[in-house]
Amino acid sequence: MSLSLYGSPLVVTDSGGKDSAICREIVRRSGIPYEVQHNLTTADAPQTIYYIRENFKHLEREGISCQVNYPFYKGQRVSMWTLIPIKKFPPTRMQRYCCQILKETGGQGRFIITGVRWAESVKRKNNRGIYETFTSDPSKKIVLNNDNDERRQLFENCTLKGKRICNPIVDWKDRDVWEYIQSERLPVNPLYEMGFFRVGCIGCPMAGKIRWKEFALFPTYRHAYMRAFGKMLDVIHNSGLKTRWKTAEDVFSWWMEEEQVEGQMSLTDFEEWRMENAD
């Protein structure tokens, strides 16, 4: 499908996690032409960067094209640390602008493979399937589970343009993933050996209280967030916007969902503040 619809090979998106390791392997074994892309989030642990580099070196030796996609926002190269002052609020569980900008940049106009799995999230079970078309209008999105008749019809008739996504391990359980990794002796990100269950940005709001462990292991990332929060407050004050945060520490405490401190916003206050100061 990738060759006939796009005239170019399938793209395996590699986040550096265990699910991507499996996707790389099953595509490699299938013998079809493919490329690998990694979206640089700029907030991944050093172990992830080294692991990706090492894999890319091996793949390129085998003639597989590998590419790192750098994040851009409104035509400007960004990082997690420059994005926070631009957006004027830190990423939260409900406002994950960072994923859209830092993680989903690559693969435009291509057929891509991802390692998303239903077992990772209930929400994904409801809105992700084996085959998807990617569109900003959710009402136009097509998601297929493993109904063969339905899939056949779409594959033959679909004329939509844009990114198409295949999620070949969408129904794999965690046990399936680890069994495959062990039986096929796939090298995985060393973060798993350090006790991490998931590989993602250090300080990701989706990681909840695990972030305390992450910042204890990677204190420079905590400093980077602090600096970004300080710059964000400068931007807010210079633009004449109102905020109850006084210091970068206030923002950090709120963001880490500690007990409320004086002047801290509740999530409801924050949503209202965002509505008033939407970028």
Helix axes 174-183, 18-30, angle to 10 degrees: 60
Phi, psi dihedral angles at 253 (to 5 degrees): -60, -45
Number of Cβ within a 10 Å radius of residue 238: 8
Cβ closer to ligand SF4: 175 or 209? 209
Answer for which of 12, 83, 102, 165 binds ligand SF4 (CB under 6 A) is 102
Under the binding rule (CB under 6 A), the answer on residue 98 touching ligand SF4 is yes
Contact map string, positions 78 to 97, toward ligand SF4, x by CB under 6 A: -------------x----x-
Distances (CA, A) of 261 to 136, 236, 271: 38, 20, 18
Give the footprint of ligand SF4 on residues 183-202 (CB under 6 A). 200-201
Residue whose token pair is 């395996």: 12
Phi, psi dihedral angles at 275 (to 5 degrees): -60, -40
Give the footprint of ligand SF4 on residues 41-60 (CB under 6 A). 41, 43
Q: How far is the CB of 99 from ligand SF4 (least distance, A)?
A: 3
Q: Are the C-beta atoms of residues 23 and 12 closer than 8 Å to each other? A: yes
Cβ closer to ligand SF4: 103 or 110? 103
Answer for which of 26, 206, 210, 217 binds ligand SF4 (CB under 6 A) is 206
What angle (nearest 5°) sits at the alpha carbon of residue 241, between those of residues 208 and 205? Answer: 10
Q: How far is the CB of 205 from ligand SF4 (least distance, A)?
A: 6
Binding site for ligand SF4 (CB under 6 A): 41, 43, 91, 96, 98-99, 102-103, 200-201, 204, 206
